[in-house]
Amino acid sequence: MKNDALSTALSQFDDAADRLHLDDDVRGVLRVSKRELSVNFPVNMDDGSIQVFCGYRVQHNIARGPAKGGLRYSPHVSLDEMRALAMWMTWKAAVVKLPFGGAKGGVMVDPRALSAAELEDLTRRYATEISIIIGQSEDIPAPDMGTNPQIMAWIMDTISMHKGHTVTGVVTGKPVAVGGTLGRVEATGRGVLFVIEELCKQESINLEGSTVAIQGFGNVGSVAANLLRRAGARVVAVSDRSGGVYDGGGLDVDSLVEHRKAKPLVECSGVDKITNAEVLGLPVDFLIPAALEGQITSQNAGDVRARFIVEGANGPTTPGADRILEERGVTIVPDILANAGGVIVSYFEWVQDLQFYFWEEDEVNDRLRKVITRAYREVAAAAERDGVTMRQAAMALGVGRVVEATLIRGIYP
């Protein structure tokens, strides 16, 4: 059964709305996207044929500032998925107090099936199609699953050609050579580390020697694995779409990163092979789901044996799983807090682009730590004060801040 990200997002919002005692009018505004753009566009393929692709850009809310959110290239992209991810982005920006609203976009395509030329042509055509609603003061895309800094550079260049001058602030996650910021590639994984370090302080846990399992070994999972290993944690399992690898004594993360550049993770030698499902059920201190939404459900939540779940992905845990895990005493650091490092450093990149003044990497990382640890403490304090889970506390804070901005601004006209 396919997990429905939009149902999860709406269920989480409704729970927060109930706790905040929101009236039906405000709920009606925040339950739906402000703007949704669907595009179907042709691309010239290398064999001379023309293929039509479908893409989206969804802006959920802009009460607190310009829309902000990633672009996803995947065969599984859908409008409902974009709606859910855009909504989560709205709450995420509000939880960490960034002056952004939430957006998300994507194209239904397997980028691995395209040549470099086809990928560039698709990207530039898609950027042209959504150029009517994106801009450095309107909506600022960023990389997500299936996209990368090079794709962001093509989008920035395409929009700049339309404008007749360079507009670096129209996207974030760009290469440093064209207006990107130092520290952006590692930002989401580094934010996961900072959150776990803060959690360890709160729970009086020694991070050194603690055990970690990570589902998803893309940008977020691999960076988090490397940084946690350097901090003294023992990363015992990681997985990607091909399956997982396990070593109770601790994996050589650097070797796995190098191996995965050429081959699937499960083809690595000298380690035990396990399934993605088995990764989720390992008896570890920290489980980091860093793949897709809907991975921990009511069907497998009972198998989870981790003490803490730190959500590196967006929406990896369904509401049904949340209830089971809460009953079992598993603490979840929710996605809208745990993986906010990416949007925080995207904000830093955007600010630097607007100012034409760039920071050193240690300044970026120090500011990231300050913003995300402050947000963690606020969420943890609210959870303890109100006797709720960290997800419920984070959602109430995020939704509450968007409601405040909405009511202060009023309804136009």
Show me where the domains of the chain are located: 5-178, 187-338
Please give the pLDDT value at position 242.
86
- How do residues 47-57 score in pLDDT, each as one tens digit? 999 999 999 99
CA distance 344 to 347: 5
Q: Are 217 and 265 in contact (CB under 8 A)?
A: yes
User: Distance (Å, rounded) from C-alpha 11 to C-alpha 5?
Assistant: 10
| Banded pLDDT at 266 (limits 50, 70, 90) | confident
Tell whether domain 187-338 is in CATH 3.40.50.300. no
Nearest CA to 55 among 129, 2, 145?
129
The yes-or-no answer to whether 5-178 and 187-338 have a common fold is: yes
Q: How confident is the model at residue 396 (pLDDT cuts 50, 70, 90)?
A: very high
Query: Average pLDDT, stretch 297-322?
Result: 95
104 is catalytic: yes
Catalytic residue selected from 104, 163, 174, 273: 104
d(CA 305, CA 302): 8
Element (H, E) at 373: helix 361-386
**Arithmetic mean of pLDDT, 194-220:** 95
Find all residues with CB under 8 Å of 342, minimum gap 6, and list them: 70, 142, 173, 184, 187, 188, 191, 220
Q: Token digits for 245?
A: 């690898």
What's the CATH architecture for 5-178? 3-Layer(aba) Sandwich (3.40)
Confidence of residue 3 (pLDDT cuts 50, 70, 90): low
For residue 159, CA distances in Å to 18, 118, 146, 156, 162 come to 42, 18, 21, 5, 5
Q: What pTM value is reported for the model? A: 0.95
The answer to whether 392 touches 385, Cβ cutoff 8 Å, is no
